A and B are shown apart, each in its own frame.
Chain A
């Protein structure tokens, strides 16, 4: 492998229902910075059906060029069809760095592509940098359940690949009308070559605000004592118009569903206000919420690690303190006596 042949930073553009995934825009922002350090270009790889219009969006968020695979066979994400397109593109144009969102699609695709190329792949990266002269990608990520951070290098193979957690990189502001190059690509691929079929797609969370998109999160932990203790969390969340979050241990204990989990194995969140209530503050939780705007911790134990991560802390029993906060808020917001129609 001749390293010199590999130039440019690429981002896999994840698309669904005609919309570019936010993480792909974030990666274009991060990729632009890497490309500028390397004095090279930033490209997006866009695979889908009727995705031509999105290519313009990709350019407006920072890409110099977009490789477009537009074909009905790509209507749904499937490992085999997307992988074949990506492999063909990498072999033809040889990027030095290739980034994917650490989503179910991005991780699935990256793992398959890495094996076939083969090359190194760093999972769930939270920090990226590049050595200007050597082009070596410094991909850093929490390891061992978030107990340490590790920087992973791939010295001998190209492209250097990483999946990157949503919400940790920043998208550039959109440059409307920006121009770039669109390169239309296709590969000989037939439906009967693809061994998986998507029979149905079922959306279950359209009505519910996703935790990673919430402005305010009220999260509870083991300190609430039991599933019933979570009622005070729901009441405060309803009063504030917030989404309920949870630590890993209460999810594992079955007090609340998995999609509420914040942390290393749950969602990374960046709300404007984050309440950590009865949560001790294991590092696995902290890595998932430490970039929140205003962090308020409530815990019985004044030595709890969560207070180190919080802007404001109250030492006390959540079951006593939280209802007092809820009431005080109803009064402050003029919702005194309001009947809460939303059942907990």
Chain B
């Protein structure tokens, strides 16, 4: 049976987050916690692949207890099972420590049902790194396939997958052995509104919850802050731009002034004609 596991994270909605202007720190309470938007696409892709090939979809997250809400959101999207690992020992993990911890949980999930494919979002909107997915793949000795925007084929019987990887100027078609890990771009799919049955199931759903003592062969020095080679030494507000000049007068007068400024760069105009249309 095909087993797809999506790794997901609950994040503060960085579009809404507010800064405390006095301390230059984030007011996390101002931001609602949401399922990382890229991860919603990862779960949706897993669900779509299950529709094509059969099997089951599990989701895994590491986080504080309220992150159970993010798992429920994945159940709404259509995941079958949810696993959460939560422990103070995991706090302060950077991408290296996070990939270690998730790998230990994935090994345990894989003992219950062997894993054929791991799907991650391209990155999280709070960390913005995109490094955890490839890190998990290396630790599990699976080929990491990042920037995936299409899964053309999954063939468990013959043990391969064919995917498209997005490049700066196009894409490449890759054939990889299974199991492998893909991290997906958001254009890979659209996440539809949840169905009523999924919503009802999600509302009641209780994920499997593990702490550090539930994981096997854990090297505690690789967990959390202690296991993180990178540290944040300082944070500051980005420099405020200088602020320019609002043009004044009637619209025609403003445009006349704007034109005067721009025509100083006249050599540019038309030079790149042909661009513009998507």
Contact = CB atoms under 8 A, between A and B. Distances in A.
A104 B146 contact: yes
A143 B229 CA distance: 18
B213 interface: no
A108 B146 contact: yes
Interface in B30-87: none
A313 B229 contact: no
A252 B106 CA distance: 32
Contacts of B170: 201-206
Name A's interface SS. Answer: mixed
A195 B230 contact: no
A307 B243 CA distance: 6
A198 B135 contact: no
B108 to A, nearest CB: 20
Interface in A106-158: 107-108, 110-112, 114-116, 118-124, 138, 141-157
A315 interface: yes
Interface string A15-26: 000000000000
A310 B241 CA distance: 8
A208 B261 CA distance: 28
B189 to A, nearest CB: 13
A311 B230 contact: no
A176 B30 CA distance: 55
Nearest to B246: A313
A79 interface: yes
B198 interface: no
Residue picked from A114, A138, A157, A320, most chain B C-beta under 10 Å = A114
A146 B276 contact: no
Contact of B128 (A123, A149, A204, A312): A123
Name B's interface SS. Answer: mixed
A325 B261 CA distance: 13
B169 A204 contact: yes
Interface in B136-156: 137-139, 143-147
Contacts of A234: 276-277
Contacts of A328: 255-256, 259
A270 interface: no
A33 interface: no
A144 B26 contact: yes
A13 to B, nearest CB: 16
A273 B268 contact: yes
A79 B268 contact: no
A115 B96 contact: yes
Contacts of A202: 170-173
B245 A215 contact: no
A123 B269 contact: no
Contact of A115 (B125, B135, B167, B246): B135
Interface in A296-334: 296-297, 302, 307-316, 320-321, 324-325, 328-329, 332-333
Given A257-B278, A308-B243, A329-B259, A145 B176 contact: no
Given A105-B167, A314-B246, A314-B251, 7 more contacts: A111-B146, A153-B231, A196-B180, A241-B271, A272-B265, A325-B259, A328-B256
18 contacts: A104-B168, A108-B134, A108-B147, A121-B131, A123-B131, A144-B26, A149-B236, A156-B229, A196-B180, A203-B170, A204-B170, A237-B275, A257-B278, A310-B241, A312-B258, A313-B244, A332-B259, A333-B270
Interface of A: 76, 79-80, 103-105, 107-108, 110-112, 114-116, 118-124, 138, 141-157, 195-206, 208-210, 214-216, 218, 234, 237-238, 240-244, 256-260, 264-265, 272-273, 282-284, 286-287, 290, 293-297, 302, 307-316, 320-321, 324-325, 328-329, 332-333, 342-344
Interface of B: 12, 14-15, 17, 19, 24-26, 94-96, 99, 125-131, 133-135, 137-139, 143-147, 162, 165-177, 180, 186-187, 228-238, 240-247, 251-252, 254-259, 261-263, 265-266, 268-278
